[in-house]
Structure 1
Amino acid sequence: MWTPVLADDVETVSGRLLSAMRRDIADGVLTPGEKLPTHRDLAHRLGIGLGTVTTVYAEAVREGLITAQVGRGSFVADQASLAPPLDDGTIRMSQNVPPLAPAQRRFAATFGRLRQRPDLVDHLGYAPPEGYAAHRRLGAEWLKRVSGHDAIDVSKLIVTTGAQQAMTLAFDTLCKPGDTLLCEAATYFGMRSIAQVGGYKLRGVAMDGEGLLPDALDQAAAESGAKLLYTLPTLQNPTGRIMSYRRRMEIIEVARKRGLWIVEDDLYSVFAIGTAPPPLSAYAPDRCIYINGTSKALAPGLRVGYMVMPNADQYDAALRLIRARIYSPASLGAMIASQWIEDGTADEVVAEVQAEMLARGAIARDRLGSACEAPADPRCPHLWLPMPEIDAERLAARAMRAGVEITPPSAPLVDAGMLSGVRLCIGAVADRATLSSAVDRVADALRERDHGVV
């Protein structure tokens, strides 16, 4: 019976298992038609969560690596069947992206306006490492509108190829391999991937209903000697919590006391306009690297991020990294985003996305009831269901069996002893009817948990 070796080549256990399956199929260790272990058996033999195995098997089916036959089990697919599979009907609530319909409806018309731009063909050349001046200026205007940050210094703003690149630049500018990075006890999984590749250690910090606890941050900084805090103070991912103004001031005070740099991820501010205070960097621009972008507000495919550095030295250091790694940022996505910001399309898309998320959030919260922690703003695109880690793994497994893929419980957890649960992303689902069906299935899976069904 197949017992894979999980190499330390991917951040998550699920990623390692899927990588091992791909590798063993390619190397002939697993042959076409061979029956795979049951989910429960493999989980027991590897000492991992049942939900993790279920998630991996479902992804392997989607990729065409294996086939699953009800009542018979899972089998390695014939090599001829390894072409991209048809949609298996799974409803995916694991990726935190906005509904794309508002942007899609306006996309074709955008090209007509772009054709009239006198600088259109200029975007086929290399952009400056910090991005074109017009994109930076319009990006600063956009950030003021969606975050309440009225003091953006355009001279320290860099346009990046997505917020993920901005995060990588921030960490690599401020830290060296082996350094400890502080973050919420549950945090954005992409940050954990960056830390692994960069050789950084992570330490989770305890939270309450407003996010990071100042005393816990102070203690963690003192004990670890960390020099950097990564935080999402507005609609924190995965919990949907918002730091109050007072809490933000307390976090800044600890950062100054302990010499911490703050990397502030503010991607979800667009869903809390009028609810959240201005970002930390508005009050402490000398200690913060501010990051935002268009992936959650407009469309992830634009790949546009904005990063505001605290001083000229770190700004120059980030530009040196850009030149060394990619030489010049992609500019076509930034051109589209800038066009939308300038002509008002971005504001229209945001208004529609916010309204859609408000409606979807109401549907989901109504069906999930008390199992769902109410987000600090009802427009939040992700919902948090707090529960012990083992219950979270079992819920993920039951949901997958019911045809709903949710975020693997292990993905956001830095310290499951402080905080654990399941995240549901309600933006990526095709429409409200599909969302209703998906959430009903998750609610049924929750009732199975309450009745002791594993």
Structure 2
Amino acid sequence: MDTILQHYMPGGGRSKFRDVVAAIRSAIAQGSLAPGDQLPPVRDLAWKLDMTPGTVARAYAALTDEGITEGQVGRGTFIAPPSTPVQFVPEPWFDAGLAIEAEADDQVSLFATALPDMGQVALIHSAFARLGSRSPRDLLAYPSRSTFEPARRAVLHWLSGAALGPIDHEDLVLSHGGQSGVSLVMQSVLHGRKPVVLLEELTYPGFRRAAQLLRADVVSVPMDAQGIIPEALAELAQKHDAQLLCTCPEVHNPTGIFTPEERRIQIAEVAAQHGLHILEDDCYRVGDARASSYRALLPELGWYVSSLSKSLTPALRIGFTVAPRAHASTLRRAAEHGFFGLARPLADLTEDLLLRPETAEVAEKVRACLQSYTRVAVNGLGGYDLRWGDDIPFLWLNLPDGWRAGSFTKAAASRGVQLRSAEDFALRDARVPHAVRIGINAQIALPRFENAIARLRDLLDNPPEGMVV
């Protein structure tokens, strides 16, 4: 008991159960806990750490899933003997693809979406070459608001498939990718000593990290098959005096849920009643929008963020943030005071790329290629509880009874396939399903991708001996 207490360091942006996991891992790494040592009973440790027994039990279960501990019926939980380590990919601080080119032949990362080169690399090279003919003075001065007007107008042209309502280029700011846009919106909206941000109970981790940087509390909102539940949103908005809701209604990350128009109208009505701003993250949509954006439904409170990361490339870090008309100047100040705006060459590159008809053609080819990989995955895993769509660059797999997300990702990694667990997207004490997200990796040959899916199918069809079903 005392050994764990000595290594327990709460905080750091982690949930309580992860603090317990970190303490036990630290004790093992420093030799304070050795194979065969027994962990304290759940209730005893929970009392010492002033948390619920369920939180400690969740930590023990996570460690068991990873093979760090083992449960012995009637005796308790013990530190497991060392075994052959499985190489896991650590969670990056951003939701990006892995180094695909470094993968061994038998290792395949489906951790995140990886786009194929369908001509965009050549387009970017030629665009940089064209920028060399621009005036040298463009590279000797700080950028200004007028500097970026051509790029902003090009972005409006690019976003024509999004139902954003009345919009002017002055409502838009170029950001360093979608994550930078999320931070800009929070800087524009949040105020007070301890603001509250509402997030979906499973959500893009970047929302949580941006809120933590601004010392905001995050609260999870329950969901159903259509997304956020309006009644729950109303209750939580009032209870916590929340200032901002972050959501992905077109392509929910990580589940792929689409929130239909009627549900969005209900959510917008709740937000209007409580003065709640809504930040819509549209970075994963690769087709046309199927319903009105919250910016269109809430002209005074709706914010919109997107980027080129899932349509052309994440390497350029080009994102777009659109403010409600009444808050456009606040958004501009957040960008100008924070980083003086995008680098001039990137703004010029954005203008060049987004106004060329070839770019739209390449984006459509990228979309078609991703669809071909998605169909291979659906053919291989379609017999299981799978959520997918032609315009969704990942799949969401609800695991069969008996599987936990942690143990499944570990078993998949031992077979050379890296996935992302539902726990990576869960907030503290949120309801976490036994599910995994499967990214579409179109940077590897289709047969190799199909082989990776076959390995997952074999694992589902033939679970390890002794697994309780």
Task: Report the TM-score range of the alignment, normalised by the length of the smaller protein.
Answer: 0.7 to 0.9
2:444 is matched with which residue? 430
Separation (CA, whole Å) in 2 of partners of 1:51 and 1:23: 16
Matches within 5 A, 1:297-312: 297-312=311-326
Contact 2:370 2:442 in 1 (8 A): no
Query: Would you say the 8 A contact 1:11–1:193 is kept in 2?
Result: no
Q: Is 1:94 the equivalent of 2:106?
A: no
Q: Which residue of 1 aligns with 2:380?
A: 367
Please state if 1:382 is matched with 2:394. Answer: yes
Counterpart for residue 174 of structure 2: 159
Q: Secondary structure at the match of 1:290?
A: strand
Q: How many residues align?
A: 417
- Offset of 1:178 from its aligned partner? 2.2
1:444 aligns to what?
458
Shift in CA distance, 328/281, structure 1 to aligned 2, threshold 3 Å: closer
Match of 2:305 among 285, 288, 291: 291
Q: Does structure 1 residue 396 correspond to structure 2 residue 413?
A: no
Hey, what's the Cα distance between the residues in 2 that align with 1:14 and 1:330? 41
Mapping for residues 307-346 of structure 1, pairs under 5 Å:
307-312=321-326, 314-346=327-359
CA shift for structure 1 position 45: 12
- Aligned residue identity for 2:340: Y
Letter in 1 for 2:189: L
Whole-Å separation in 2 of the counterparts to 1:54 and 1:95 = 24
Distance 1:383 1:54, change over 3 A: farther
Structure 1 or 2, whichever has the larger Rg, is 2
- Structure 1 residue 185 corresponds to structure 2 residue 201: yes
1:227 aligned partner: 243
Q: Measure, in 1, the Cα distance between the counterparts of 2:434 and 2:246.
A: 19
TM-score (norm 2): 0.76
Q: In 2, are the aligned partners of 1:131 and 1:160 still within 8 Å (CA)? A: no
Going from structure 1 to structure 2, the CA distance change for 1:156 and 1:448 (only over 3 Å counts) comes to same
- CA deviation digits over 1:332-368, x for unaligned, max 9? 3332232121112320221011101211111111111
The percentage of counterpart residues that share the same residue type is: 25
Deviation per residue, 1:26-82 (Å, 9 max, x gap): xxx879xxxx979xx9x9997362488589xxxxxxxxxxxxxx975589xxxxxxx
1:283-302 CA-to-partner distances (Å, cap 9, x unmatched) read 32221111111111110011
Aligned CA distance change for structure 1 residues 449 and 251 (closer, same or farther; 3 Å)? farther
Rounded to whole Å, the distance in 2 between the matches of 1:51 and 1:396 is 13
1:196–1:106 distance in 2 versus 1, CA, 3 Å: same
- What CA deviation, in whole Å up to 9, does each residue of 1:216-238 have, x standing for no partner? 22222122221211111101111
After TM superposition, give the deviation of residue 386 of structure 1 in Å: 2.5
CA contact (8 A) 1:235 1:272 kept: no
Q: Alpha-carbon deviations, 1:193-246, whole Å to 9, x = none?
A: 112222222222222222112222222212222121111110111111212121
The offset of 1:10, in angstroms, is: 5.7
CA pair 120-98 structure 1, distance change in 2 beyond 3 A: farther
For 1:135, which of 151, 157, 167 is the aligned residue? 151
Q: Which amino acid aligns with 2:112?
A: Q
Alignment match, 2:43: none
Tell me by how many angstroms 1:390 deviates: 6.7
1:310-341: per-residue Cα shift (whole Å, max 9, x none)?
Answer: 144x3333333334432332233332232121
Contact 1:95 1:428 in 2 (8 A): no
The alpha-carbon deviation at position 385 of structure 1 amounts to 1.4
1:252 aligns with 2:268: yes
Of 109, 120, 123, 1:103 maps to: 120
The 5-angstrom pairing of residues 10-89 of structure 1 reads 11=14, 47=60, 49-50=62-63, 53=66, 73=85, 87-88=103-104
Distance 1:50 1:425, change over 3 A: farther
Q: Distance in 1 between matches of 2:129 and 2:449?
A: 34
Q: Is the 8 A contact 1:185 1:419 kept in 2?
A: no
Residue 397 (structure 1) shift = 0.9
Shift in CA distance, 208/336, structure 1 to aligned 2, threshold 3 Å: same
CA distance in 2, matches of 1:165, 1:52: 34
**Does the C-alpha gap of structure 1 residues 175 and 347 become closer, same or farther in structure 2, counting only changes over 3 Å?**
same
| Whole-Å separation in 1 of the counterparts to 2:138 and 2:22 | 41
* Equivalent residue, structure 1, for 2:283: 267
Q: Does 2:372 align with 1:356?
A: no
What CA RMSD, in Å, does the superposition of the two structures yield over aligned residues? 4.0
Deviation at residue 19 of structure 1 after TM alignment = 9.8
Residue 426 of structure 1 deviates from its aligned partner by 0.6
* Distance in 1 (alpha carbons) for counterparts of 2:67 and 2:168: 47
1:412 is aligned, of 425, 429, 449, to 425
